[in-house]
Structure formats: C-alpha cells, structure tokens
Amino acid sequence: KDLCPIISCVLTVNVPNETKTCDRCGRVGDGTPTLVCNQSLLGSTRNEGWLCYPRLNRLVAFDGSLLHAVVPGIPSEVLGEDEDG
C-alpha cells in the first residue's frame, strides 16, 4: 500500500540576503533552491527535475510521491580568529 502523501508543499518564510539580486537570472537572495524530480518511490521511466528558488511567501505544491530535496549551497569560507584574513 502507498504511504506517500497526496501533496507535498514547501513554504518559504525567510530568504537570506533578500535585498541581493542576480544580474543574470533575476534570482533574489542567497537561498538555495528546492529540486523536485519526476522520480518517485512508486517508479519512473524518465529522469527530469525542476528547481524552485525561494521567494518570500512562495508556496510550492507538488505530487506527494515525487522525490524532492534542497540543493546544498556553496559554503562560504569562515576564518577563525587565529587565522590571517
């Protein structure tokens, strides 16, 4: 029996550095996107996916059986107090 939800949702309630905008694509902030694939635990024959970048109060809803994840960002280097910077 299927144990997948009917619908999965992602609600953006905060966007880091919301005042920052990409000149090339218009993306707002430093938030990382949610990846929604057309693959599911129930099976799939194709491999496609969609990226949804965060915007304040954006709600993304999709078929609950689809696999999804947050794409990790590129970490910023953090210098310790004992390191030269």
Phi, psi of 34 (to 5 degrees): -95, 130
Question: Do 51 and 10 touch, CB atoms closer than 8 A?
Answer: no
Is 68 in contact with 80 (CB distance < 8 Å)? no
pLDDT in tens, 20-71: 777 777 777 777 889 999 888 777 667 889 999 888 899 999 998 888 888 8
Q: Higher confidence at residue 13 or residue 4? A: 13
pTM higher than the cut 0.85: no
- Nearest one of 67, 68, 63, 59 to 34, comparing CA atoms: 68
| Confidence band of 81 (pLDDT split at 50, 70, 90) | low
The pLDDT value recorded for residue 35 is: 92
